[in-house]
Structure 1
Amino acid sequence: MKPLLDKNLTPFLKRFDNFLDAEFRSIEIVSPTVIKIALAAQDSARGFDWITIELEFNGVNDARVPDNSKLSHIDMSKGITLVYADNQFIFGVGDYNCSNITDSICYIKAISLKYLEGEF
């Protein structure tokens, strides 16, 4: 896994078009402070082929994650929110900002973030 730094968030999100119409594959709670999620998205760096992106959040201090059985019902038409604010990474499904991210059906706040590119 590669670290995803705050300065690289904008190009990362642009590469995957903010994960608009992506597919939520899985959520794994590794420990109380580590959560992994897998998303399938189109990669503009690969001719818009579909790939799987795994995000690993470390130092999780707040989260709401749905059960894996409900992931296929999550509307990903608005993509994801992924920002760095207040010395933490803030992730949410949908178009949110830092102040209302807790309104998202799925959100994670963590100290660090890593990612891994995989096959579709």
Structure 2
Amino acid sequence: MSEHPSELRYTTEHEWVRVEDDGTATIGVTFFAQDQLGDVVYIVLPSVGATLQKDTRMGEIESVKSVSDLFVPISGEVIEANQEVIDHPERVNEDPHGAGWMLRVRMSDPSEVERLLTGEQYDQAVAS
């Protein structure tokens, strides 16, 4: 059984995207990413209003093992940063596809989502 929900889309950099009913997108890191990182202790995210370009750096995530860049899976404007995950980075380990989300974005090009990996494709990518 997959740890990666099928309704999400994924990047090879281990971020996920959920398209919400209102057409916005929620972004986080995958179960696989948080598992590889270990205990997450610090997160830096862009501010509300920031414009993000697909495949560029959007912040960083620090664990007891390492510091890693976070990359933008889809272009758009940040409409919300999850203050709970900034204040309590361990939420990423506890619930990476739920309470551990990082950003909500107003997408500038919704078609970018279709070019991301499906859950099955992502599972295959991390299994190899």
TM over 0.5: no
TM range (shorter): 0.3 to 0.5
- Scaled by the length of structure 2, the TM-score of the pair is 0.38
So what's the TM-score if we normalise by structure 1?
A: 0.40
